[in-house]
Copies of this chain bind each other. A is one copy, B any other.
Amino acid sequence: MATIQAAILGFGTVGQGIYQILNEKKDQLKESLGLDIDIKAILIRDKTKSRMAAPDVLFTDNFDEIEAIPDLQIVFEAIVGEDPAYDYLCKAIQKGCHVITANKVMFSKHGLELQELANRQGVHVGYEATTAGGVPIISTLKNILLVNQVQRIQGILNGTSNYILTQMRVQESSFQDALEEAKLLGYAEADPFNDISGQDAFRKLMILSNLAFGKQPKWDDVSIEGIGDITLEQVLGAAREGLRFRHVAEIVEKVDGSLHASVGPRLVGPEHPLYAIEGVNNAIALETDYMGTLTLVGPGAGKLPTASAMVKDYAEIIGKRTQILVTI
């Protein structure tokens, strides 16, 4: 049986999740795809840290060593931040690799360029994990767009913010205590600024904008507000009136084709579709022309949901390739 050679860039929570799922699902993937997968190398930041026993895997802090692997076909990228991730993925695509990324900061800015480059090279870019963690919003949106037009996207796109707002109301935790708990559970980044400032939700909204509308609004025109100013008193006061704070990202295409986007907290009542979305869940409502409104709800963060979205991208990309071979 032929074997796909792969590399993982970044070995934090998500990178380790990819490695875990690829091992746990080895037999199932082999059977469904007709191909084995072999993790040849993992790019890490600190080579002196102890690693688990995987004698056949090259642990390196030098991307050149990964680029030099002959017959490398898949690169999973789970690094935080724009650089050097963008540079690595450009090089991987130019080498003829399919790339699969969870990096929303990089992809919200460079997504269209990377996809154009990949088209020219005849490879695929998987980016399901960039937006809403395990919720398959990217493949669902692609599927809907085959026939429907999307007019508005509205959702809770940051699981950490929603977790904090939920804990403040349910546990009467302070903002700071809820944030620390989110960090402990692996929901919040080590530096939670992007989560709580609304920047993370904004970046995901821009990725959805590219897919749904083929373009983005000017970033400076988007009003972005986080949850950092919401006090426990406000949360509990709202709850007494039957209302809940939700951090909502929204984008609408007007009839003249212009895009209007905003990110910020809102108070919603029991009839609002986002009222029941609790904890680390994300929710995305897509308003379409034929299909009405479709809403997806699921875990927006976490090691295994995010990593499973990336392995699913792998199975889709390789599945396409296999299908072609079989059909010929």
A residues within 8 Å of B by Cβ?
21, 25, 29, 32, 134-136, 139-140, 143-144, 146-148, 270-271, 273, 275-276, 278, 290-299, 302, 304-305, 307-309, 311-312, 315-316, 319-320, 323-324, 327-328
Contacts and interface: CB of A to CB of B under 8 A. Distances in A.
Contact of A290 (B290, B307, B316, B324): B307
Contact of A147 (B276, B293, B298, B315): B315
B147 A312 contact: yes
A324 B322 CA distance: 11
Nearest to A320: B323
Contact of A291 (B32, B290, B304): B304
A155 to B, nearest CB: 12
Nearest to A293: B298
B139 A315 contact: no
Contact of A299 (B292, B297, B299, B320): B292
A295 B298 contact: yes
Given A271-B276, A276-B275, A292-B134, A316 B146 contact: yes
- How many protomers of this protein does the assembly include? 2
A307 B290 CA distance: 9
B276 A290 contact: no
Contacts of A144: 136, 312
Residue of A134, A140, A146, A270 contacting most chain B CB atoms (<10 Å): A146
Given A312-B144, A312-B147, A316-B146, A294 B297 contact: yes
11 contacts: A136-B143, A139-B140, A146-B316, A270-B276, A271-B278, A276-B276, A290-B304, A292-B302, A293-B298, A294-B297, A323-B324
Closest 8 CB pairs of A and B: A290-B308, A294-B298, A146-B315, A134-B291, A295-B297, A292-B299, A290-B304, A147-B312
Contact of A273 (B297, B308, B315): B297
B299 A296 contact: no
B276 A305 contact: no
A258 B276 CA distance: 32
A148 B307 CA distance: 11
A22 to B, nearest CB: 10
Contact of A324 (B148, B304, B309, B324): B324
A211 to B, nearest CB: 14
